[in-house]
């Protein structure tokens, strides 16, 4: 790939190479859930989704909203309570069961036709959580989406699978879909990820041909967790992706 610059004007191509071959297996993710090693989970929900909710919803009601690699993110409950249809995709069954238990929602289980895994569906019918690999998921199962919340998702996908992942996300977007994408910037020579370092140039490379990309905000996220990893800066960057 050609050398490129992120919005801080720094050449990031050498930095991006540092994590190129890093692979986290599905087993390792399941292990994180088993051992409660889930520092990525935000019990209060994400402040940037709250802040940019109007842009996310774009004045529309009754949306079908996708949460790829959803974990047990409580934002799914927020959106369901606002009257939207929520669809999550997550490899860990215990994450999904924790979600329903913690949100005090009853659910039923059924097979997903054609792919390995199962669907956990709230009794109320408005939250459908697919327990399967995101790479087995497609619009053939649910149709396309009006909105996608991608936080802790692209940045959790192994760098070698990013292209495949971004193609999938694009294929899930309906023509008016608003996708909010949160990435992170830090010194990748100091932390091997996940979350993986995803510079501005990579977002453009993955989505720029198909989407108009707006950087909504860069937030200083140097909290206790990134400090523990040995980082001295950590930016969380929020983008809006809309199909051209
Ligand atoms: C960093 S966590 C983020 C969870 C959630 N988005 C959040 O913000 O709290 C990434 C999640 O992706 C899940 N995951 C990893 N690989 C996956 C795959 N191939 N398909 C579906 N889920 C996967 C992990 O189990 C984990 O819960």
Contact 200/7 with Cβ under 8 angstroms?
A: yes
Query: How many Å lie between the centroid of ligand 1 and the Cα of residue 70?
Result: 6
One pLDDT digit (tens) per residue for the chain, 244 residues: 333 444 445 567 778 788 989 999 999 999 999 999 999 999 999 999 999 999 999 999 999 999 999 999 999 999 999 999 999 999 999 999 999 999 999 999 999 999 999 999 999 999 999 999 999 999 999 999 999 999 999 999 999 999 999 999 999 999 999 999 999 999 999 999 999 999 999 999 999 999 999 999 999 999 999 999 999 999 999 999 999 9
Give, in words, the CATH class of 13-243.
Answer: alpha beta
Contact 99/128 with Cβ under 8 angstroms?
A: no
Strand order in the sheet with 235-243: 107-111, 118-122, 127-131, 85-90, 64-68, 145-150, 173-185, 235-243, 211-220
Ligand 1 in reach of 153 Cβ (< 6 A):
yes
Ligand 1 in reach of 41 Cβ (< 6 A):
yes
For the chain, where are the E strands, in sequence order? Answer: 64-68, 85-90, 107-111, 118-122, 127-131, 145-150, 173-185, 211-220, 235-243
Query: Within a 10 A sphere around the Cβ of 12, how many other Cβ atoms?
Result: 21
**Residue to probe by mutation, ligand 1, list 23, 86, 156, 191, most atoms within 8 Å of CB:** 156
Query: How many Å lie between the centroid of ligand 1 and the Cα of residue 134?
Result: 9
pTM exceeds 0.85: yes
């Amino acid at each position: 790939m050609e050398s490129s610059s992120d919005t801080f004007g720094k050449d990031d191509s050498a930095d991006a190479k540092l994590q190129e071959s890093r692979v986290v297996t599905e087993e390792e993710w399941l292990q994180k859930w088993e051992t409660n090693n889930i520092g990525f989970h935000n019990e209060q929900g994400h402040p940037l989704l709250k802040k940019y909710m109007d842009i996310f919803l774009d004045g529309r009601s009754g949306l079908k909203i996708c949460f790829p690699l959803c974990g047990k993110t409580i934002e799914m409950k927020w959106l369901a309570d606002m009257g939207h249809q929520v669809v999550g995709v997550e490899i860990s069954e215990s994450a999904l069961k924790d979600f329903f238990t913690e949100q005090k929602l009853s659910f039923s289980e059924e097979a997903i036709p054609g792919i390995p895994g199962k669907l956990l569906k709230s009794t109320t019918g408005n939250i459908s959580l697919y327990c399967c690999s995101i790479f087995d998921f497609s619009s053939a199962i649910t149709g396309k989406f009006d909105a996608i919340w991608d936080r802790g998702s692209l940045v959790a996908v192994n760098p070698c699978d990013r292209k495949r992942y971004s193609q999938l996300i694009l294929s899930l977007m309906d023509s008016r879909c608003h996708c909010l994408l949160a990435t992170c910037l830090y010194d990748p020579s100091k932390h091997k990820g996940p979350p993986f370092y995803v510079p501005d140039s990579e977002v453009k490379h993955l989505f720029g041909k198909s989407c108009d990309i707006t950087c909504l905000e860069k937030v200083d996220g140097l909290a206790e967790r990134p400090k523990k990893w040995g980082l001295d800066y950590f930016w969380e960057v929020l983008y809006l992706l809309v199909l051209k």
